[in-house]
Amino acid sequence: MSNPQQLRYSKEHEWLSAAEDGVATVGITEFAANALGDVVYAQLPEVGDTVTAGETCGELESTKSVSDLYSPVTGEITAANQDVVDDPSLVNSAPFEGGWLFKVRVTEEPKDLLSADEYTEFSGN
């Protein structure tokens, strides 16, 4: 399992792309997707919602459990991935590509986001 070097990671197992024009993409890591098992339902924040770093903003339900989804940054939701809502298995099959969850216009970014190497060490994979 390889965590893309260009992304940053939260200790809640979300990844964050570099912001383009202030907007970053958020998803969950492959480690988290594997731990969840087969994702069968995704409840994502809606466009216009405000999210706060470290706080719950949705949930993912799998055949094993229900897991809260946390925002790694503070900002306003600009897009939610309807493809994941329609086909939640994308979270498992393509967590770093088509399985992204939402886009957020970042207003505040915490200082404790991890690099790929730090996340790999943190998650033990």
This prediction has a pTM of 0.95
* Tens digit of each residue's pLDDT (9 = 90 or more) over 93-111: 999 999 999 999 999 999 9
pLDDT at 107: 96
3-state secondary structure of 65: coil
- 3-state SS of the chain is CCCCCCCEECCCCEEECCCECCEEEEEECHHHHHHHCCEEEEECCCCCCEECCCCEEEEEEECCCEEEEECCCEEEEEEECHHHHHCCCHHHHCCCCCCCCEEEEEEECCCCCECHHHHHHHHCC
CA-nearest of 112, 108, 103 to 24 is 103
Q: Are the beta carbons of 1 and 119 closer than 8 angstroms?
A: no
- Please write the tens of the pLDDT for every residue from 25-68: 999 999 999 999 999 999 999 999 999 999 999 999 999 899 99
